[in-house]
Structure 1
Amino acid sequence: MTSNISSTSMLARLNRRSSRAFETLKNVLLLYLILTRTLKAIRHLRARGFARTIVDLYTWVSQETLLLALRLPRLRAGVQRELAKARLDIEAGMVPSGPSVTRHLALPSFGQSAEWIVAEMDKMDSEAPAHADWHGGRVSGAVYHGGDDMTAVILAAITRYALSNPLHPDVFPAVRKMEAEIVAMCLRMYHAPDGAAGTTTSGGTESIVMAVKAYRDWARAEKGITEPEMVVPETAHAAFDKGAAYMGVKVHTVPVDPITRQVDLKGVRRAINANTILLVGSAINFPDGNADDIVALGKLAKNAGIGLHVDSCLGSFIVPFLAEVSAEEGWGAVPIWDFRVEGVTSISCDTHKYGFAPKGNSVVMYRSANLRRYQYYVNAGWVGGVYASPSLAGSRPGALIAGTWAAMHYMGSSGYRDSCRAIVSTARAIAARIRAEIPVLRVLGDPPASVVAFASAADPIFRKGSKLSASESSKGVDVLEVGDKMAKRGWHLNALKGPAAVHIAVTRLTVPVVDQFIADLKDAVREAELAPSGKGNMARLYGLGTSSAVGPAMVGHIAEAFLDTLYKA
């Protein structure tokens, strides 16, 4: 009996000890969760600032409230009707229709002749909805035409290597050699040190996504970071957000100075924390063509022991020649934006832009071959054998690599210098004439290269120190309306937001049409002031995006409809 009581007492004590241990463990876990969540909140608040955090929270609550309201049957039906109308408008502008349109929805029973194929292509070109005339230089960027002689050189290279695939370098050794030489030439252009390395990719977006992947894996392997974060200017290309979404990296977006259009360095410094793997700077950025202070960003990156990627996809074959051309033309000193800057660890450069290579080629460069290795994917255990690829693609078009190699050799340094001179001179002329002749518009920042963006001078960001009269400042002009009026005159320009603006990326095709551009822009401004319609694509789509908290979600649905339409046969 005594033994039973003793056993029961001991068991009770063990249960109490187990219960206390469990409670202690539970409290420790709870404390850990509270501390980690608090640390994340502090880092987020430090990166965004109190005011931006409150705005972000207000925007999120507003969006969720409106989206919840839109679930009501009556409101949802109205939204669906509007989206359906937008979808029809998009399809009307992209998909040919009518009894004369032939649709090829299944393989032909027998193969067609080469003559038939060419004739059918001619027919498709003629029956397509109206499109901008890129040959006449009225398209912003998009087509980087090096001349008919350049096209002939590229086509000869593509024809020769049409069936090649760099996935099999033993089968196509010449393509392997050309790819390596393309990377080497770009590294030399950007003053890379000994030991630097790179790869080609399918374009600027893949170059950027690959860089994000490389830094994520580098930080995980060498710094033990499992919750990576990166800091980017708000003017950085959307490909950084895309790469972060693919690779599971948190993004802190930092505002730019409204006048200089350079990223706020204090904001970048505040956003850096123990999980930061990468800073980003642009030379030049896509929205307004300005360049960030790469030297200052390099110091921040070096002090923090993290990477700095310079996006020069758009600067490409302009930026490396700009200092020399600027000195010859008397334009003034040009900052350093390449590997000569301490702290710069990678750069992306699109050969298919101002390098005039065929579309579908870019180069991503790293200060060291060791950093490049983190971009690779290697699977040594696959039953099909060892699988290794340098970038996202497995099989790749060797023909485009051959075309790129041919274009770079055809142009040479002297050709690219001349091209830089013509393009930058044209961009500077456009910016100067807008400032001098169209006072209701303002050029954003002081663009050093090939892109010029302009906004309404009445925009609040320009009011401090503005020379406009009170009546002019209050009236202003809707710059998106101006963009729509330019579209009616055959110009294909890019709309921006934050602030609302329009930009033109100058190409060699733009050089002879500067006078026409300025004349049309003046007419478009007058028409937008006197007879605004608000019904053009720029005014409707970008206006919707800022009309309410739910506006961006609606724009997202319209963008999805656009993507769906790309595949509507």
Structure 2
Amino acid sequence: MDAILDSAPAQHLIDVLSLLQTRFGTTYDRARTLLFFYVVTKYGIKSLRHLRARGTVGTLREGWSWLSERTLLLVLALPPMVAKVEPQMAKARKDIEKKLIPSGPQVIRYLSLPSEGQSRDWILAEMDRMDSYCHSFDSKGAKLHDWKDGKISGAVYHGGQDLTNLIVAAYERYCVSNPLHPDVFPTIRKMEAEVVSMCLRMFNSPTGAGTMTSGGTESIVMAVKAYRDWARATKGITEPEMVVPASAHAAFDKGAAYMKIKLHSIPVDPITRQVDLARVRRAINPNTIMLVGSAPNFPDGNVDDITGLAKLAKKYNIGLHVDCCLGSFVVPFIERSFPPGTDGYTMPDFDFRVDGVTSISCDTHKYGFAPKGTSVIMYRTPELRRYQYYVTSSWPGGVYASPSLSGSRPGALIAGAWAAMQYMGENGYHQSAKNIITAARKIIHGIKTEIPELYILGNPPVSVVAFAAKEGTGINVLKVGDTMSKKGWHLNALQKPAAVHIAVTTLTVPVVDTFIADLKDSVKEVGSSSGHDGTMVALYGLGSSAVGPNLVQEIAASFIDALYKA
């Protein structure tokens, strides 16, 4: 063995191996060093961008919240705490089910198909019977939260019984239609194109493009998807980020989660309730694909500085989406109804006339009075709309192309939207917008002049009015909301800050005086400590603790579970 190792060929082989080891070892060390610096640089840049977007205080607060939450969750996972918390959560779940799921001997549950089909008369009679026991009634036998009495925030956008009858007729005529097959249902294709065209002209972009969707959330998610794919194709961005006001609709968070996009939530000014433009600018970086503004936002009805956001979008060559889902068929008519500055209100520029606005979402099923399940997403150019599509040519079933999330879609709803827009016309929408805005401003005036314990959030120019309790009054505004609920009102609770809002509709217009009077009485009741802790306090009162949001999420998930419990 020694002789073999000492031979010339063997020694040559050893020399060669040593040389290779030395060379490759050096290359490996260099590669490892380069990889180390690459990783440090990459995540260092990410951290700096995150710090710039959140700010030092915001980042520290975020980190402290995360640490506190994790610590409390570990504590809550201990057996003694589980024994205490779980019964409370179980009770909350039971309370939710009790509220949502009817019970009693009169309730008949249909958990499987009947062996034989039922008659039309039987079905209609059973619907009547279910309505009788599914609703809650007060001591006088009147329905609580009956939308027809107008004591409801948003939710039902009613254009009158004649329009409802027309929509039902349109639905009946086209109930089996499907836009997925435009050659089979050419009328539906024409109607959809015309609905989009009418909306584009309302928002001052006759040369733009768009599609219909199932609602505001899908319109927003589709816009997020379009910007993600546009940025990937034109800029090579593979780790996209978006900058969104904290007051923007939760659908943007949903879109970011679905599309794997990092979202920077930017605070709003506590007085104006508009997004902080300086903070928006700091959050923009080379991975930013889009900015967002609301006209108006859902929580408090204020309108962001769209012109300021548009300048940033133009400067950094990124998209700007304006969410007009809630404003829908009100904001396009506000200038005509109320010239700028009327009564101290100003509606900022918000539509495609603002250079830099690249997309707008508008719900036809809100103030457009179209049937639920219709919305429009609009783009400044047809080229940008292309990035919303999904197309595949390799599927064994053939070429598949769809404009939005759905494949098959209900053409009957498109027909209903088209019919509603034809029925209302420009003058009809102008008059409804004027009535709604007038009612909202009357509520604002009533709160400012008659209820000194409350204040209005910002200066909302459209249809949503949010109010909170002034410091030092000792009033819990969520208790006020719960007390209003006992008077038959169905309002929305807000947080950050705690507040309550009403979205005024045509149904609200006749009951504005009743709303102000009931709100005044509710504040007095809460002030005299006779107000009761109800759903608003029980749910949103948890938010002040570090673990509160987790518990609220669990309750919300239980709520969804209960929706599907037969």
Calculate the TM-score normalised by the size of structure 2: 0.96
Match of 1:367 in 2: 380
* Kept in 2: contact 1:301–1:308 (CA 8 A): yes
* Kept in 1: contact 2:180–2:409 (CA 8 A): yes
1:359 is paired with a residue of what secondary structure? coil
Match of 1:277 in 2: 289
Whichever residue aligns with residue 494 of structure 2, its letter is: L
Matched, 1:57 2:69: no
Report the Cα offset of residue 333 of structure 1: 5.0
Matched, 1:113 2:119: yes
Matched, 1:146 2:159: yes
Matches within 5 A, 1:160-309: 160-194=173-207, 196-309=208-321
Whichever residue aligns with residue 395 of structure 1, its letter is: S
Whichever residue aligns with residue 509 of structure 1, its letter is: L
Match of 2:72 among 66, 72, 77: 66
Report the Cα offset of residue 545 of structure 1: 2.0
2:22 is paired with a residue of what secondary structure? helix
1:42 is paired with a residue of what secondary structure? helix
Aligned residues: 552
Match of 1:348 in 2: 361
Match of 2:436 in 1: 423
CA distance in 2 between partners of 1:454 and 1:295 (Å): 27
Match of 1:336 in 2: 349
CA distance in 1 between partners of 2:156 and 2:558 (Å): 25
CA distance in 1 between partners of 2:347 and 2:513 (Å): 27
Runs of 4+ in 1 over 2 A off after TM superposition: 1-7, 327-335, 532-535
Match of 1:558 in 2: 555
Whichever residue aligns with residue 211 of structure 1, its letter is: A
Whichever residue aligns with residue 84 of structure 2, its letter is: G
Unaligned runs of at least 5 residues, structure 2: 1-6, 137-143
CA distance in 2 between partners of 1:549 and 1:373 (Å): 43
* Kept in 1: contact 2:292–2:321 (CA 8 A): yes
CA distance in 1 between partners of 2:305 and 2:56 (Å): 25
Whichever residue aligns with residue 364 of structure 2, its letter is: T
Matches within 5 A, 1:375-386: 375-386=388-399
Match of 1:488 in 2: 486
Match of 2:411 in 1: 398
Match of 1:83 in 2: 89
Shift of the 224–18 alpha-carbon distance from structure 1 to 2, 3 Å rule, reads same
Report the Cα offset of residue 533 of structure 1: 5.3
Whichever residue aligns with residue 230 of structure 2, its letter is: W
Report the Cα offset of residue 23 of structure 1: 1.1
CA distance in 2 between partners of 1:438 and 1:554 (Å): 34
* Kept in 2: contact 1:193–1:339 (CA 8 A): no
CA distance in 2 between partners of 1:133 and 1:488 (Å): 13
Deviation readout 1:265-286 (Å, 9 max, x if unpaired): 0000000000000000000000
Report the Cα offset of residue 329 of structure 1: 10
CA distance in 2 between partners of 1:353 and 1:401 (Å): 14
CA distance in 1 between partners of 2:532 and 2:27 (Å): 68
Report the Cα offset of residue 233 of structure 1: 0.3
Whichever residue aligns with residue 404 of structure 2, its letter is: S
CA distance in 2 between partners of 1:422 and 1:476 (Å): 35
Match of 2:106 in 1: 100
Deviation readout 1:55-96 (Å, 9 max, x if unpaired): 000000000011111111121122211111001111111100
Match of 1:479 in 2: 477
CA distance in 1 between partners of 2:443 and 2:268 (Å): 23
* Kept in 1: contact 2:197–2:206 (CA 8 A): no
Whichever residue aligns with residue 531 of structure 1, its letter is: S
Shift of the 386–449 alpha-carbon distance from structure 1 to 2, 3 Å rule, reads same
2:339 is paired with a residue of what secondary structure? helix
1:352 is paired with a residue of what secondary structure? coil
Report the Cα offset of residue 335 of structure 1: 2.2
CA distance in 2 between partners of 1:403 and 1:3 (Å): 90
* Kept in 2: contact 1:157–1:402 (CA 8 A): yes
CA distance in 2 between partners of 1:373 and 1:408 (Å): 26
Whichever residue aligns with residue 70 of structure 2, its letter is: E
CA distance in 1 between partners of 2:247 and 2:33 (Å): 44
CA distance in 2 between partners of 1:244 and 1:334 (Å): 29
Percent identity, aligned pairs only, is 62
Deviation readout 1:373-400 (Å, 9 max, x if unpaired): 1000011111111110000001100000
Which stretch shows the higher mean deviation, 66-75 or 323-332? 323-332
Whichever residue aligns with residue 474 of structure 2, its letter is: G
Report the Cα offset of residue 3 of structure 1: 4.0
1:327 is paired with a residue of what secondary structure? coil
Calculate the TM-score normalised by the size of structure 1: 0.96
Report the Cα offset of residue 330 of structure 1: 4.0
Deviation readout 1:126-155 (Å, 9 max, x if unpaired): 101414111010000000010101101111
* Kept in 2: contact 1:93–1:129 (CA 8 A): no
1:356 is paired with a residue of what secondary structure? coil
* Kept in 2: contact 1:314–1:350 (CA 8 A): yes
CA distance in 1 between partners of 2:340 and 2:428 (Å): 15
